[in-house]
Amino acid sequence: MVGTLSQLVTLVSYGNAYLRGREIGSLSSNSEFQFCNTVEFLFPKPAGPWFGKELLVGSPLKWLETLKDRKCTRLKLSHFPTPNPEAPDHMLAAFVGGGGQSLIEAAFDSNSDYWAGKWEVTNQKAPDRKIWRVTYNVVAKNSKSTSNAAIDLQGLRNRLEKTLLEIRDFAQKHKVDNFAAIFQNGIDCLNSASVTEKSYHKDLVPDGWYSLEAEQLLTAASNAWVFGGMGSWNDLGFEGADNKIYEDLSAKLYSTINESIVAAVNSKH
């Protein structure tokens, strides 16, 4: 999973735990922020003499405190495909701002605000590798909330497993065994009772916050993420009809992975 998305997952999951009264610390030591020198949140100010100006909050915890003061009821993760993309979303997922748009929804009693992150390299040669400045902005205010309908985790699990089996078999057929092993790992995560041991992101979500079913889905989707730049699954190509199968399976996996991550994260609030 790319860092831009994994940080959103962390903000939503820990944020909901905080809104429910759980102690989460400052998040400054969380691995999803380890390469960030700054993480800021810009609140549009209300109408009045300062209308149009922005209120800066300089940490995730301060952001959550402000949301709680404003009676935020829950946070949700959303992902939207790119409309009319010049290239398929999975091919651009490794680039900052590519691969569709992921947002945090901050829900209130009758409406929601939607937040998007902007990542900028501000210190390329930082010795501690903290090269990124991340700024979260409200991109839609007092907007319609998304549905709170029950999430069918089992149905998604079945679809993800089916897609992983198909793409694993394709990888095995074409002897790209390193990727076949990654897809098999995703399948194994869906059936593991100790799924946190298999997770690359050890502190992605709060311990014990989610059901085993949600953790299996989230870990499988995270570990099966193969969409990067040079040397990644996106860098492959095949002859004839097999290349069309490769493209279709890749797009299907990317869509199902994003849907699975969103569903797992939003299953507990």
36 lies in some domain: yes
pLDDT surpasses 60 at 51: no
Mean pLDDT of 218-231: 91
pLDDT surpasses 80 at 52: no
Query: Residue 95: pLDDT band by 50, 70, 90 thresholds?
Result: confident
| Chain-centroid distance, C-alpha 60 | 16
Domain C-terminal end among 124, 143, 162:
143
| Same domain membership, residue 173 and residue 108 | no
| Same domain membership, residue 192 and residue 245 | yes
Reduced to 3 states (helix: H, G, I; strand: E, B; else coil), residue 111 is coil
Mean pLDDT of 202-218: 93
> What per-residue confidence (pLDDT) applies to 74?
97
DSSP conformation class of 172: H
> What per-residue confidence (pLDDT) applies to 162?
98
Q: Please name which of 260, 4, 227 lies closest in space to residue 135, comparing C-alpha atoms.
A: 4
Q: How far apart are the first and last CA of the chain?
A: 22
* Residues spanned by the domain of 190: 153-266
Domain C-terminal end among 143, 169, 198:
143
> What per-residue confidence (pLDDT) applies to 148?
85
Structural domain total, the chain: 2
> pLDDT tens, 168-209?
999 999 999 999 999 999 999 999 988 776 677 789 999 999
148 lies in some domain: no
> What per-residue confidence (pLDDT) applies to 108?
96
Q: Render 191-234 in DSSP notation, one character per residue.
A: T-SSGGGG-S-TTSS-TT-S-HHHHHHHHHHHHT----STTSGG
Spatial separation of the C-alpha atoms in residues 67 and 112, rounded to whole Å: 11
